[in-house]
Amino acid sequence: MNTFVNVALPLSLVIIMLSLGIGLTLNDFKRVLKRPHAFGLGAGAQIVFVPLIAYLLILAFGITSELAAGVMLLSLCPGGATTNIIAKVAKGDVALSVSLTAVVSLLSILTVPFVAAWSVIHFMGAEAPEVTITGLALAVFVITTLPVLLGMAIRHFKPAFSIRVEPAFSLIGVALFALIVVAALISGWQTFMDNFATLGPILIALGLSLLIMGFFVAKFSGLERNEVKSISIEVGLQNATVGIALASIISTQSDGFSDMGLPSAVYGILMYIVAAPFVFWYRKT
């Protein structure tokens, strides 16, 4: 299990983020300039309001210590390629979804380390492992930002190759995500069983709150219907794989997954259940 946590987990996340980058072109970023209002609203909600709502829910549900830090880590994670697929299924603005995923993922090196370090110290107190912002920023860069940039470079210089391998990379990414979630749950099964009654409600509340908030913020801002759908999905769904990886990097636990990664692992399953009614409704409207 140590090999999986220390080697396979970061490597899997690199592959997942590389697959995201391979699917990106410069046009995905040019769309940001064409619809700056929609993009700014979605990015701002993801970076500011998602962690804020997570923090308020932690206080409301009385979550403490490593589990609380894990929920906050989850809230800091950008959306993944999964949100782009769900936006397409929901008949949302896929281009906006892709742009938000790409830019927020690249910005995570600036937004994640500071709040992540604060969250661990704030919720764990004297039990908190030593966290350096520089070290965490470097880790975020290596496992998220760098693979996305590398994938984009491959897409730019080898477009035909990228188009050919993108479906395979996407499937590998989905399979690795499933493997990571299952491994995390198996490793912390007893902790999962002991805390599901606590984690389940807050994670469901988090998912519902963010999907609803994203919808109404976008709707009342006068955006088009398909843009409203995409912002709701991008704000409402987080990349659980990044949360598990960050928890593994921060924690000093030497055997298996830490409790800090458990909220992301549980969320990795619950988010599909929570999002399903919204996706069904969005397809009909």
Per residue in 39-66, pLDDT (tens digit) is: 889 899 999 999 999 999 999 999 988 9
| Domain architecture of the chain: domains with CATH | 2-284 (1.20.1530.20)
CA distances from 136 to 37, 47, 85, 185 (A): 31, 17, 29, 24
Q: Say how many CA atoms lie within 13 Å of 155 toward its Cβ.
A: 20
pLDDT for 69 equals 93
Per residue in 201-246, pLDDT (tens digit) is: 999 999 999 999 999 999 999 888 999 999 999 999 988 888 888 8
Containing H/E element for 94? helix 94-124
Per residue in 22-31, pLDDT (tens digit) is: 877 777 677 6
241 in Cβ contact with 231 (< 8 Å): no
Res. 77 pLDDT band, cuts 50 70 90: confident
Q: In angstroms, rounded to a whole number, what is the distance separating the alpha carbons of residues 4 and 257?
A: 10
pLDDT for 268 equals 81
Q: Which of 156-165, 225-234, 249-258 has the highest mean pLDDT?
A: 225-234
Q: Which amino acid is at 167?
A: P
Supply the mean pLDDT for the chain.
Answer: 83
Q: Residues with Cβ < 8 Å from 206, sequence gap 6 or more?
A: 53, 54, 57, 71, 74, 75, 267
Q: In angstroms, rounded to a whole number, what is the distance separating the alpha carbons of residues 70 and 203?
A: 11
What own/partner pairs with CB < 8 Å and gap ≥ 24 does 58-61 have?
58/123, 58/202, 61/198, 61/201, 61/202, 61/205
Q: Output the CA angle 88-76-234, nearest 5 degrees.
A: 15
pLDDT for 254 equals 53
177 in Cβ contact with 16 (< 8 Å): yes
Q: In angstroms, rounded to a whole number, what is the distance separating the alpha carbons of residues 107 and 141?
A: 10
pLDDT at 4 exceeding the cut of 70: no
Q: What is the DSSP string of 176-190?
A: HHHHHHHHHHHHTHH
**Which tokens go with 56?**
């308020």
Q: How much of the chain exceeds pLDDT 90, in percent?
A: 22
Q: Which of 39-43, 44-48, 77-81, 115-119 has the lowest mean pLDDT?
A: 77-81
- How many angstroms separate the most distant Cα atoms in the chain? 53
Per residue in 62-71, pLDDT (tens digit) is: 998 899 999 9
Lookup result for tokens 């219907």: 225
